[in-house]
Amino acid sequence: MPRRLDVDVLRRSALGQTDEVLMRFARFEAVVRRTDDIRWANTMTLCSVHAIWERFAEGRLAVALNHASTHFLHTHGVRGIARVPGGLASCLVRGGKKFFDFRSRSDLLGKADDLVSKASNPFRSISKGDWDTLDAMATIRNVISHGSEAAWDTYRNLLRDAFYLRSAPSPGEFLDSIDRRPGSPTNGRKRLYIFMTTARSVMASI
């Protein structure tokens, strides 16, 4: 009988890692006073949680393929088994590579649709607002990690269109500033928590 992957184990691991990252940031912020150091910690915290989200998405898609294999087996004419084994599901999600790579919501949704169908795609339950926040987190992570002109252009456009900022501060300054958007669930807290709260909520719910 093919091994059945456990979504609860995956979820607990991702949430535990996220909570540890946030506690580490809180401990750092409690003892460090230099503004540049705090801003740097904001950027590293966002990158860490973005990495947790990426690996969670990889694992969650493998779970979906392992649990709902009918679409894949039928599409590829596979006979003799009722479920894609866990190890093979992980390999298929990665496309034979050492890691799973997706660059946007449309990329992830398309890959998941191909593997498990739209009906069984767990990422289809994510709201548009949450997707916008996850994509924004990826944009900020890219400018922190790569710093290319293309990454900066995308980042500037994000801050102009989503946060109504005419000029783009550094990612560290942006994340360390207070969210003043009316009706925002993180209003009054650092903008860093916009992304941390959403990533944690999404991973807890799908």
For the chain, the domains span 7-125, 128-205
Q: Which of 170, 193, 173 is nearest to 181 (CA)?
A: 193
Beta-carbon contacts of 11 under 8 Å, excluding residues fewer than 6 positions away, are 56, 203, 204
Residues across the chain: 206
pLDDT tens digits for 31-68? 999 999 999 999 999 999 999 999 999 999 999 999 99
What is the DSSP code string of 87-131? HHHHHHHHTTSSS----SHHHHHHHHHHHH-STT-GGGGS-HHHH
Instruction: Name the DSSP class of 117.
Output: -
Query: 104-135: per-residue pLDDT in tens?
Result: 899 999 999 999 999 999 999 999 999 999 99
Q: pLDDT exceeding 70 applies to what percent of the chain? A: 99
